[in-house]
Structure 1
């Protein structure tokens, strides 16, 4: 069986990595490499009105903005090449051959300014960030049915009553989609490992964001982007570390954009077509604003100072 492109892209980062449309904005997504700031952003004014907001959606949006898109779409085949370069599984020559198969001349691609630059510029930092962001967001989107379905050729016999007298019923070839249980057995452990790595790294980022209370939503998002870019190699290593071993999986729901399954290790992966919830031993590990059972509230400068006088009762 030929391993599907997205499965390959996911599995690429579960091996040794020591060397290494929904909520994102396309312009930001085309620039996956973000240089770490030399100084932290200034905090919002002390007079700003703050609200406590969960860190998870802020971090999630930041990681989506780091995910590359190609012609406005995610491309599993291209990202399998990027992740292959990160791991050292693919050579530049092999990637150039892949581009040629798409009628793209690698010599004419710019080193920067084009999403495909990731495939030719040799920038391991940008490639690592792109690969990590792509994997992290892969479990927060509806799964591609091509990951676990296969096309099977079947032959249907025409009804005997419609055949001419003395003639054999005409056989009509057709293709149907069937569940590929072998491919699914590869997908589920990786989905679980990626979701667990998300919980680990997102919680680490959230704990750091809490150290700087009073920033605006935009400032927290930028901080989260910077932290994820620096932690990208650690994230890929974390995916490998979180790969389940000897775990039996039972699929609860599959289809219609949903993927729900439970593992014999107490895990419960629930993507309902819109949102991801990961339970671990009856604790909400990821989802609904929580990470590893905690909400990680951030004190966000949500309203400017002009709102402050409106909150004070009028004197009579």
Structure 2
């Protein structure tokens, strides 16, 4: 007699991932399983059924006709379970830990908006900001619930919420020679200056905020300090003529703590409309707690847009010479 009633929601989700990828390792990674655990998981789950549900052929695992026959029932079980979870989720009593992966300095600003809301509405929950070498992989592999990244080169199988547009500026010390320039800044004017390069941990798709600003120099020819922890450069920048291309919100944080100022991006710099976004995996997409948490980010994004609009109205917004060119959105 089969033990199908022993199936858990995660077991069924694991089978769906295996059918999609055909690779036990990849299906297991979605649930943060080691290769050996994922293999044992498939053996255990298969034992619940009276007939084989997967067969290994052509280098991958393929669903049997029996699995294809019962798939609609399994999908219905997932939907029913998710409905029950949604009905039972209560933010006020939830003790969920939400893991966010992000390497950007300006995540401090995002956390400053999100954490107070979380503490007020879900006082027993917790926010965990983790640093992963690859935020995209952290989300896809189930190591993080969310990642905050620049929307360049994103995987096709993640969900995306726009948070705010990327506005790059030049950060320098107060009374830096560039602050006395009467001309509009150009890339040529910036070339002689040594700089701090912010590393994103991403591939060539978005290696740094200074991408496309210095296309003709040798690799890091004028970089004197490279780091993914931008705040470690601020004191040195306040004492030298180092410059740095960074996001406006990171510059805001830097200027509050050190004697630094922000200048517009060079007039001849390409500034397409890029966005910093919140991403999450398809596995997490219908999780009631994740749905609720996304609502906090959505609320904050609207508040942030209003804040920037107010700053710009007062002439205190991001310095710029021109409007950014619009590009394909996320």
Q: TM-score range by the shorter chain?
A: under 0.3
Structure 2 length as normaliser, TM-score? Answer: 0.22
Structure 1 length as normaliser, TM-score? Answer: 0.23
